[in-house]
C-alpha cells in the first residue's frame, strides 16, 4: 500500500521508523511547519521531518490543512492509506481522502482518555494500566471505530517521561500489526459506543494553572500529579516567593499536626513539604532562573529567609 504518514514529535518518529524498517511504502510525510525555538530563536525542524529527510521521504508542511495547493499535492501521491500519530486534528477532506481511510495511533485504551494529554492524565488519576489504540478517524476527535488495542501496565515509579517512551514503542508495534491485518482484510472495527464503560475519563490539554500543587490534598494525589507532569509541563509550588518546579519526589504517609503547605529542611540534604496526610520529599527540582538539580545541590545554593 502507498502510505502517507502524519506526525510531528518524537513520539511519532518511532512509528514512522517501524514502517520504514518493515518495508512499508511511505510515499510522503506531513508534519508541522518549522518554528523558532531556543534562546537564539533559530528555526527548528520537527523530529518527524528530521527523520523523514534522513530517509529521503518527501515532506509536506502546510500551515492550513484545507489549503487547496496542499490538498492537490496530497492527492497527487495517490495514497491508499494515511497514518496519523501525534498530529493535529484533520478536516474530513483530508482524513477521508485515501480509499483505505486514515488510521490514528492514540496513547490510551479508548474510549478512555480521549484528548491531547492521555499520558499525563492516566498518571495524575493514579491508573494502574493504560495502553495504545489504533482506530479509524471520523468526525469527532478520538471517537472512531477501534481496530486494535494493547494494554500496558503502569508502574508506581513511572513518570510521564518514562510512560511516554513505553507507549511510543508499543504504539509502533500495534501500528504494524494493524497494517498487516488491514492488508489481510482480517480487521473487524469496533464502534466505541459498543465498549462498556461506567464513566469516561478525558485527557484535555494541560495548562499552567493545572500544574500548581495543592498541599491540602492527600500525599498520593500530590505524588501522582508530580509524576504525571514530569518532565513536562512540570508540577510546581512556591518557596520563599520563588517558583519551584518538582520533577521527582518521594511520598511519606504519616499522621501529623503541622500546617499544610509549610516545609521542613536541614538546608543541606532534605526538603519536604507538609501535605494533608504526610510529607512529599523533594528529590529533583528547579527554581526559577536556575537549572534542574538534585535537592542537595539546590539546598547548597538557595538562600532561605528564616
Per-residue burial over 227-246, b if 16 or more Cβ lie within 10 Å, else e, is bbbbbebbbbbebeeeebbb
Name the CA radius of gyration of the chain, rounded.
22
- Output the pTM of the full model: 0.94
- The answer to the question of residue 19 being in a domain is yes
Last residue of a domain, one of 194, 219, 246: 194
User: pLDDT tens for residues 203-217?
Assistant: 999 999 999 999 999
pLDDT of residue 182: 96
Same domain? For 157 and 216 the reply is no
Same domain? For 173 and 259 the reply is no
What confidence category does residue 48 fall into, taking pLDDT thresholds of 50, 70 and 90? Answer: very high
Cell 520563599, residue?
240
Whole-number Å distance between alpha carbons of 167 and 112: 15
pLDDT of residue 306: 62
CB of 267 closer than 8 Å to CB of 240: no
C-alpha cell, 61: 508542511
C-alpha cell, 289: 532562573
Same domain? For 44 and 109 the reply is yes
- The answer to the question of residue 253 being in a domain is yes
Same domain? For 75 and 176 the reply is yes
User: pLDDT tens for residues 124-136?
Assistant: 999 999 999 999 9
Last residue of a domain, one of 170, 194, 218: 194
User: pLDDT tens for residues 145-201?
Assistant: 999 999 999 999 999 999 999 999 999 999 999 999 999 999 999 999 888 777 899
Strands 129-136 and 293-294: unpaired
In sequence order, what are the beta bridge partners of 239? 242
pLDDT of residue 215: 97
- The answer to the question of residue 292 being in a domain is yes
Whole-number Å distance between alpha carbons of 214 and 116: 23
Last residue of a domain, one of 169, 194, 219: 194
- The answer to the question of residue 134 being in a domain is yes
Residue 120, domain extent: 2-194
Same domain? For 25 and 93 the reply is yes
DSSP 148-215: EEEEEE--TT--HHHHHHHHHHHHHHHHHHHHHHHHTT----B-GGGS--SS--B-PPP-GGGGB--T
* CA 27-167-282 angle, 5° bins: 135
Give the CATH number of the domain where residue 231 resides. 3.10.25.10
Same domain? For 282 and 151 the reply is no
Same domain? For 54 and 163 the reply is yes
In sequence order, what are the beta bridge partners of 131? 151
Phi, psi of 81 (to 5 degrees): -150, 145
Cell 498541599, residue?
215
Q: What are the residues whose beta carbons fall under 8 Å from the beta carbon of 191, sequence distance 6 or more?
A: 145, 146
Count of domains forming the chain: 2
* CA 1-143-80 angle, 5° bins: 10
* CA 152-155-161 angle, 5° bins: 85
Whole-number Å distance between alpha carbons of 167 and 173: 10
Answer whether residue 140 shows pLDDT above 90: no
Same domain? For 233 and 147 the reply is no
Same domain? For 146 and 101 the reply is yes
- The answer to the question of residue 90 being in a domain is yes
- The answer to the question of residue 203 being in a domain is no
User: pLDDT tens for residues 52-92?
Assistant: 999 999 999 999 999 999 999 999 999 999 999 999 999 99
Same domain? For 155 and 11 the reply is yes
Same domain? For 101 and 219 the reply is no
- The answer to the question of residue 200 being in a domain is no
- The answer to the question of residue 223 being in a domain is yes
Answer whether residue 39 shows pLDDT above 80: no
User: pLDDT tens for residues 252-261?
Assistant: 999 999 999 9
Same domain? For 236 and 161 the reply is no
Give the CATH number of the domain where residue 115 resides. 3.40.50.170
Amino acid at each position: 500500500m502507498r502510505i502517507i504518514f502524519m506526525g510531528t514529535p518524537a513520539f511519532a518518529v518511532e512509528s514512522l521508523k517501524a514502517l520504514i524498517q518493515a518495508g512499508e511504502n511511505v510515499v510522503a510525510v506531513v508534519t508541522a511547519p518549522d518554528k523558532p525555538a531556543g534562546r537564539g530563536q533559530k528555526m527548528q525542524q520537527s523530529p518527524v521531518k528530521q527523520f523523514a529527510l534522513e530517509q529521503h521521504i518527501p515532506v509536506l508542511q502546510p500551515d492550513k490543512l484545507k489549503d487547496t495547493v496542499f490538498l492537490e499535492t496530497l492527492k497527487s501521491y495517490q495514497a491508499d492509506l494515511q497514518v496519523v500519530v501525534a498530529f493535529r486534528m484533520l478536516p474530513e477532506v483530508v482524513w477521508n481522502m485515501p480509499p483505505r481511510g486514515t488510521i490514528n495511533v492514540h496513547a490510551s485504551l479508548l474510549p478512555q482518555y480521549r484528548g491531547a494529554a492521555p499520558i499525563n492524565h492516566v498518571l495524575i488519576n493514579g491508573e494502574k494500566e493504560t495502553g495504545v489504540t489504533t482506530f479509524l478517524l471520523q468526525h469527532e476527535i478520538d471517537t472512531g471505530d477501534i481496530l486494535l488495542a494493547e494494554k500496558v501496565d503502569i508502574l508506581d515509579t513511572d513518570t510521564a517521561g518514562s510512560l511516554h517512551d513505553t507507549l511510543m514503542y508499543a504504539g509502533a508495534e500495534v501500528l504494524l500489526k494493524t497494517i498487516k491485518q488491514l492488508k489481510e482484510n482480517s480487521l473487524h472495527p469496533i464502534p466505541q459506543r459498543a465498549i462498556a464503560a461506567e464513566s469516561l475519563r478525558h485527557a484535555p490539554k494541560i495548562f499552567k494553572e493545572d500544574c500548581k500543587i495543592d498541599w491540602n490534598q492527600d500525599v498520593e494525589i500530590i505524588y501522582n500529579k508530580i509524576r504525571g507532569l514530569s518532565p513536562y509541563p512540570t508540577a510546581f509550588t512556591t518557596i520563599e516567593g520563588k517558583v519551584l518546579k518538582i520533577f521527582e519526589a518521594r511520598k511519606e504517609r504519616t499522621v501529623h499536626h503541622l500546617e499544610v503547605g509549610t516545609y521542613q529542611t536541614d538546608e543541606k540534604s532534605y526538603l519536604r513539604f507538609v501535605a494533608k496526610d504526610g510529607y512529599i520529599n523533594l528529590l529533583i527540582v528547579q527554581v526559577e532562573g536556575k537549572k534542574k538539580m538534585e535537592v542537595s545541590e539546590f539546598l547548597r545554593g538557595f538562600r532561605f529567609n528564616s
